[in-house]
Chain A
Amino acid sequence: MSDSATKGGGEVVAVGLKPSRHGTLAARRSGWAPYRRHAGLIRMIALPLAVLVLFNYVPMVGLIIAFKNFAMKDGMLASQWVGLENFYRLFSGPEFLRALRNTVIISVLRLGFGFFVPVILALMLNELRLTLLKKSVQTLTYVPYFFSWVILGGIFIMMLTGGGPIDSAVRSAGAGRVEFLSDPVWFVVVLVATGIWQGAGHAAVIYLAALATIDPNLYEAAAVDGASRWRQTLHVTLPCLVPTMIVLFILSLGGILNAGFDQVFNMYNPSVYVSADIIDTYVLRRLIAMDFSLATAAGMFKSVVGMALIVAANWGARRMSRGEQGIW
């Protein structure tokens, strides 16, 4: 609908001659003309488009091996079709169901505990009147976001085990030894806590950016009406953050079956598989075991559910806000 061809010099002439429908100019307008006129743009986008198709869409075609009994020697196309058998195998095996359950539990906990921490952090930073402290806290809380979970996982393993600071602090507090990384319940607590530690500073900056766009007149009006700072936060600041919160919520909902693969993979061990083995770690282990069909089926299930959730959440957000919010 935005493709109205009324830009650029050439088209103006063509539009002017529109009445003569069977004339040569009109004939040139249909068919290949728009492509010829914008050949420069088309040539330019051809390469990126080819790359996008090759590395994003061709793998989607590769999903057919979820419906085949894939063998490396036969290749993707020649392997035998087996219908939904891989999915039956997937859902009848205990390992995948456990991975699915763990994925949902970890994600929901992450979302439940982690979603509001950045909002609170941003609000508190916003109230800080000492600019230097505000900048420093902002900079320092952002730091963990820059590092891979290989690095962070390594650091936390050191801190939580064998005489590390957290391990020894817990013991000297008389709590006895807590097996942070080998107790299935504690491990999930560690995942959620370290996840918040890593991401809160980054998300807080997004909210701070949104806070910076709030019209100062709103605060002045509220102050004139006698609103205290707390009241102003409640009735001016928070409502202004809601659209940003909705966008971030939808995006994290789409990733609900991701559960932070990088983090889990670099911190877990077989003793906590019962609570920490997630779909992605399961897929990776099947991949390493060369069980490609089952791994693809599991991955496909994950992608489809993720997509459905994101579409549904966006639909819901648009409906509730009468088409004003959402990510598209």
Chain B
Amino acid sequence: MVGRTTGEKIFNVFNIIVMIIVALIAIYPFIYTLSISLSSNVEAAREGWHLWPREVSLAAYKVVLGNTQIRTGFVNSLVRTALGTVLTLFMTCLAAYPLARKNLPHRGMVMFLVLFTMIFSGGMVPMYLLIKGLGLMNSIWALVVPTMLSAFNIIIMKNFFQAIPESYGEAARVEGASEWTILWRIYVPLAKPVLATVALWTAVAHWNQWLDAMIYINDDSRQMLQAFLQRIVIQGSTAMLDMGLTKMVDYSTATIKAATVVITVMPILIVYPFVQRYFVKGIMLGGIKE
């Protein structure tokens, strides 16, 4: 079957070569950044393609990890990610379960209210004024509460709940169980795959968010890692890193930036091999059907 004709054999070889090149293009920027971050000052200044530094130096990491703001930002981002994910899962379950039940009064209207948020929004300014008006400025709640509910998450979880046979809940209802009990004791345990998917999406989104932290948080002790990263890597302000402390000049602005990027990327890269299949599964659950 494979490669019956000469044309198909040629195509197979061509295809393999192209795919290998595509894979290399996909990850080279990360290899480059890792290489620069581990380079000495001199090595980083060398022009051209970096695959692995000839002189390995950890100086940039010492500076970045030694910085209290970066460490605070890292911890703040971890807290934000954990808190945001738990809140999202909890609220999404509370919204999705009643919507999955056909006898919820005004179900169609509520569903429309949810769906409409996908295509229309007030935008940046009214949101800013609302957060300010609620007194949430400079608080982690400004980052985790407004994003708790997304129409997309609600829809995929609702679809999953709907696929669970109604007789499961019916049996419990006859025994006198409340809707609350049925949701947490029957539906949620059965919905683990979709919960894992939504949790992972949410966690990655929270870890990567930077704009809301930049807008709503103005106290550096409460700031998130990505906002510091934005300051260092994009605005190029490495002043906050207080590099004067370390007398050895084995790092440069480039190695500092690269090391900051690697530290930010690390948590995601560490979990990536374990979570990738969930992301693919999630796409199939949410992206294709409806």
Contact = CB atoms under 8 A, between A and B. Distances in A.
Nearest to A163: B47
Interface stretch (A16-24, A33-41, A91-99): A33-41
Interface in B48-76: 48-50
Interface string B16-35: 10111011011101101100
Contacts, number: 271
A206 interface: yes
Contact of B19 (A65, A124, A153): A124
Interface in B255-272: 257-258, 261, 264-265, 268, 272
Interface residues of B, number: 93
Q: With a 10 A CB-CB cut-off, give which of A127, A230, A254 has the most chain B CB atoms.
A: A127
A317 interface: no
B91 A2 contact: no
Nearest to A52: B149
B119 A157 contact: no
A127 B15 contact: yes
Nearest to A210: B288
Given A51-B148, A60-B122, A129 B12 contact: yes
A154 B19 contact: no
Nearest to B257: A154
Interface residues of A, number: 101
Interface in A41-64: 41-42, 44-45, 47-49, 51-63
B102 interface: yes
Interface string B207-240: 0111100010000000000100110011000000
Interface string B39-51: 0000001111110
A276 B108 CA distance: 42
B288 A157 contact: no
A287 interface: yes
A296 B126 contact: yes
Point out which of A51, A57, A154 has the most chain B C-beta atoms below 10 A from its C-beta: A154
Contacts of B30: 143, 155
A299 B26 contact: no
**Chain B binding site: helix, strand, loop or mixed by DSSP?**
helix
A284 B123 CA distance: 11
B95 interface: yes
The main secondary structure of chain A at its interface with chain B is helix
Interface of B: 2, 5, 7-8, 11-12, 15-16, 18-20, 22-23, 25-27, 29-30, 32-33, 36, 45-50, 91-92, 94-95, 97-99, 101-105, 107-108, 110, 113-115, 117, 119-130, 145-146, 148-149, 173, 178-180, 183, 204, 208-211, 215, 226, 229-230, 233-234, 254, 257-258, 261, 264-265, 268, 272, 276, 279-280, 283-284, 287-288
13 contacts: A2-B102, A41-B101, A44-B97, A51-B91, A146-B208, A146-B272, A163-B46, A165-B49, A168-B47, A292-B125, A299-B124, A302-B123, A307-B119
